[in-house]
Amino acid sequence: MACVALLCFAAGGLAAANHPAAPLLALAAFYTLSLLAAWRPGLWLFAVPAGLPFLNFAPWTGWLMVDEFDLLLMAVLAGAYGRMAMAPAPREAAAARLDIGSWLPAAVLLAGAVALCRGFSAADAQAISWYQAYNQPLNSPRVFKSLLWAGLCVPLLRDTLRHAPHATTPRIAGGMAAGLACVVLAVLWERLAFPGLLDFTSRYRITALFWEMHVGGAAIDAYLALALPFVVWALRSARGPWGWLAAALLAVLATYACLTTFSRGVYLAVGAPLVLLGGLLWMQARGLDARQVSYRFWARLRPRTRRAQAGWLLSAALLLEVIGVLHGGSYMADRIAATDRDFGSRLAHWQRGLSLLEAPGEWLLGRGLGRLPALYAETFLEGELPGEVNLRQDSTAGGQEHRYVTVRGPRSDADLSGLFALTQRVSIAPGERFRAHLHVRLAKPADVYVQVCERHLLYNGGCQTAYARLVPGDGRWQDVALFMRGRPLRGGPWYAPRPVVFAVSVLDPAASVDIDRVSLLAQGDENRLQNADFAEGLAHWFPSAQSYFLPWHIDNLYLELLIERGWLGLALTLTLIACALWRLVLGVARGHTLAPYIAASLSGVMVVGLVSSVMDVPRVAFLFFWLAFFALQLREPRFEARPDLKRGMARDAARAPSPP
């Protein structure tokens, strides 16, 4: 316990001290949260799910591998483990930990650690820095950290359930509802600022505060599937009319957020689990045992005669035959692909991803965590990156380090030109016109494209742009001035201001430009850009893609697990979810107040995972594993399973006549 506390305290302090935007504030917040976690041991159950949706400031910091949510988790772990180390658990409690709630999370964590080692060792060796991309070595720890944090939370969950079980439900469910409220408020602002609240025809996909979607993905889809069931908890547990009205408003806005994702996967992943949630709540309210109901249902459907049993076997064989024919690249699959191009392209994407697994060891253990983007881009011409940014440094004659960035265009496909840029958030005054100055070096002619756009993450509003054809200068650095054209930016209405982003791209395939200094100027001489000479690395700079996201995601949770973690990781993860759902629906936790909501959440993610990746978004993956691990710790508390019956029994006892 003490070792974990010290490691988290040291690692969190180091990360906070290197915060690109506000290191002193980050350090103060980290130490304060550590003390709070030690002083109020149950507070973290609310703070973690409530802070998850907004504790990531990557567009302002430039951090991709670490974020502010990691600082929160390390503070919680440092404080809570420190408190537990000073008050060790009794022997009987330690012995009780040797159950499925301990060894199954440990097995999943161990399999993830094996995949981490395989991924990190397979990446090209290079200097480790705070600013690396998804095709570089630190992407393996980035993907692994969600599982690591969730695994380290298991002893804290057990400790909380042992000492304060009655407070667990309102803290976790309240934190989930508060986090969802942050997301829907961000969605409302985003829709008001860009397409409009009631504009349902524009091709605009919401991202809220999930900056991981700067290269596409389904972060908000998976989060909504996890969080929406807790709106039902908020409605059922509301006290008084005002509380119910607030919960009802959250339900309306959360539904609006789901609808404006315009994602068929979200509609199914939210709708189906809500049906499951309704059924489980209905059985709980009537005192029905889900296990007995399922046994009775199976007793009626169970084939009793040999002919009926043979019919079941025939149905299973026919289903397997259909799956085999469709999966084998047959003419029928081609026919389906011809009628639905989206499914056809997705199916081809999946098949290319599976072809990355060749050797038996790769099928068993996977290619390594975080390796999918790099492997896919290197292996398939159809999956090349639309661009890339690398931080480099040279030594000057005086022995000082000279830092610069290399911005690349696509490898070969000219259709991907301009779909990747190095960006930075800037502050402007309405009506300004801009000019940019670049200090560049290049080996062959290249086209450079510069923008100042109203942009939240993926879609542009108004823009001012400039284009220049650069020619080599015999290896020398040269200054380039670009005067931007376009309408002045207005910044949006006061109640929904539009953020403004500066972006620079290289358009030519197989071309690259070195940049060691960049300026963005308006009427005066004040540079609007921070870290303009890259002396602080890529602090405040944020790479971003548009319209094309193929190499970064396999768009299927199960294939994602198989490719990076192998059959071992996939089997253990599916076993984890199956055991969690069994415990919540049919097992010892089926009567717990939280059981229906967590079951619906986990089921929703598994449905989203049919068409989306999940593990490459650490915040969402953490919440997924955290809820699954928590489900394995739950048991049915006598005082929490049926609060309505408890109140009724107390009322009946009060009304009963006194014995003579």
In a domain, 194, yes or no: no
Domain boundary among 547, 572, 605: 547
Give phi and psi for 203, each to the nearest 5: -80, 80
Q: Does residue 573 form part of some domain?
A: no
Where are the alpha helices (H) located in 87-167, listed in sequence order?
Answer: 91-96, 100-122, 139-163
Q: Give the Cα separation of 5 and 85 in Å (integer).
A: 8
**pLDDT for 320:** 62
Could you tell me if residue 211 is inside a domain? no
Under the banding of pLDDT at 50, 70 and 90, the label for residue 102 is confident
Q: What integer pLDDT is reported at residue 615 of this predicted model?
A: 96
The one-letter amino acid code at 184 reads: V
Q: How far apart are CA 87 and CA 100, in angstroms?
A: 25
Cα–Cα–Cα angle for 468, 472, 474, nearest 5°? 155
Contact 420, 520 (CB under 8 A): no
Does 298 score more than 70 pLDDT? Answer: no
**Measured CA distances, 33 to 16, 69, 73, 616 (Å):** 12, 12, 9, 27
What are the phi and psi torsion angles at 484 (to 5°)? Answer: -85, 145
Q: Which two tokens stand for residue 538?
A: 């890529």
Q: What is the pLDDT of residues 619-642, one digit of tens each?
A: 999 999 999 999 999 986 543 444
Whether 434 is covered by a domain: the verdict is: yes
- The domain total for the chain is 2
Q: Which of 108-112, 275-279, 564-568, 601-605 has the lowest mean pLDDT?
A: 275-279
CA 399 to chain centroid? 42
In a domain, 422, yes or no: yes
Residue 461 has pLDDT above 70, yes or no: yes
How far is the C-alpha of 12 from the C-alpha of 224, rounded, in Å?
29
Q: What is the pLDDT of residues 71-85, one digit of tens each?
A: 999 999 999 999 998
Last residue of a domain, one of 57, 88, 119: 88
Strand partners, 543: 422
Boundary of a domain, candidates 40, 67, 88: 88
Mean pLDDT, range 591-597, rounded to an integer: 93
For residues 311-317, average pLDDT: 65
Tokens of 236: 């059922």
Per the listing, tokens 């290079």 go with: 126
Residue 585 lies in a domain: no
Distance separating alpha carbons of residues 552 and 616, to the nearest angstrom: 9
* pLDDT tens string 200-220: 888 898 999 999 999 999 999
Confidence of residue 183 (pLDDT cuts 50, 70, 90): very high
Assigned token pair, 224: 């909504």
Position 657 confidence tier, pLDDT thresholds 50, 70, 90 = very low
pTM of the model: 0.89
Distance separating alpha carbons of residues 466 and 444, to the nearest angstrom: 20
The residue assigned the tokens 């050797």 is: 359
Note the pLDDT of residue 474: 83
Residue in the block written with tokens 């489980």: 280
β-pair partners for 485: 465
514 contacts 441 by C-beta, under 8 angstroms: yes
Residue 482 lies in a domain: yes
Question: Would you state the pLDDT for residue 129?
Answer: 77
pLDDT band at 367 (very low <50, low <70, confident <90, very high): very high
Instruction: Residue count of the chain, please give it.
Output: 660
**What average pLDDT does the structure give for the chain?**
87
DSSP letters of 463-526? Answer: EEEEEEEE---TT--EEEEEE-BSPPP----TTSPPPEEEEEEE-STT-EEEEEEEEEESSSS-
Q: Considering only 165-179, 397-411, 434-448, which range has the smallest mean pLDDT?
A: 397-411
Mean pLDDT check: name the lowest of 120-124, 174-178, 287-291, 589-593: 287-291
Can you give the pLDDT at residue 319? Answer: 60
Inside any domain, residue 287: no
Read off the pLDDT of residues 21-41 as tens digits, 9 standing for 90 and up: 999 999 999 999 999 999 998
Q: Are 59 and 425 in contact (CB under 8 A)?
A: yes
| pLDDT value at residue 246 | 94
Q: In terms of residue numbers, what domain contains 497?
A: 387-547
Average the pLDDT over each of 167-176, 517-526, 619-628 and give the range with the smallest value.
517-526
Q: Are 510 and 412 in contact (CB under 8 A)?
A: yes
pLDDT score at 7: 94
CATH label of the domain that carries residue 499: 2.60.120.260
